[in-house]
Amino acid sequence: MANGNTAEEGWLPAGKFTEGFGDIFKAPDNSVLIHACNCLGSWGGGVALRMKQLYPHAHSVYQSRLRDITSGRCRSAHDALAQCILVPPQPGDAPRKHWLACLHTSIGHGRNVDPADSILEATQCAFGDFYTQVDDHQKAVAKGKKLPKMGRIFSVKLNSGLFGVPWEDTRKMINYWPIDVEVLDLPPPNQPQKPQATRKDTGRKKSDEAAELKKGTAKKDAITEKKKQQPAPAVEETNPRKRKSDEKDPKEKKGSSEKRQKKKDVKGKHAV
């Protein structure tokens, strides 16, 4: 909230910027959501596109107020630069109840986006305009005027998306305003986690693993037993002479044996 008043009037004594992770669109009801946009009214990408989709009625109000600033004789998009259009929650966007604070920090977008220095300068002025509007609203409520309730203030990292300006540079330009702002950034994507198994699933898994192990062991034993029952393969003879003699006809073997026997008998007679 704006802190330009004393603590006795209900304002905090000092403003601060805090940073964290989270979805800005899940902020509590009546929160203020700050974003940076161009002066042409084009919400075709980034956070602005998401806002256009979630808050179509607030977007229509924004477009109407932007035309009041930029249309007419001797007026152009330059007239909206460095200004803030603050749109209260719209009944047609229910159940969402958020304020939209649209800071015009660049005239163009895409390839025609303004230089970083110009964006930073415009951001400083636009944020000052935002602070003034918030402070005026709180003073009016304090005086008893019935206005839509304004809660906590949230912001994305301004200019760091499609405009390509580092958030650290933008923060240096706006962190001195006496206003509390919670800056949220989407958490980094995490690796998909496997679903946690229940005790029942874990027990079943262990029993299945045991059954598979038992089945595999039995199969291995059967293969080993089968190998034992198979006869040992014959060792092939490497001696070529023996192999030739084994290949001879049985009749030839018999004739050769008889001849050897006759020679022995003849030798025996001569010896006698």
Query: In the chain, what are the domain boundaries?
Result: 27-185
Q: What is the CATH number of domain 27-185?
A: 3.40.220.10
Contacts of 48 (CB under 8 A, 6+ apart): 35, 37, 42
In the chain, % of residues over pLDDT 70: 64
* pLDDT tier at 9, thresholds 50, 70, 90: very low
Tell me the one-letter amino acid at 15.
G
Its pTM surpasses 0.75: no
Q: What is the pLDDT of residue 72?
A: 81
Q: What is the pLDDT of residues 142-154, one digit of tens each?
A: 999 999 999 999 9
pLDDT in tens, 207-249: 665 666 666 666 666 666 666 666 665 555 555 555 555 555 5
Angle at 182 between CA 179 and CA 185, to 5 degrees: 145
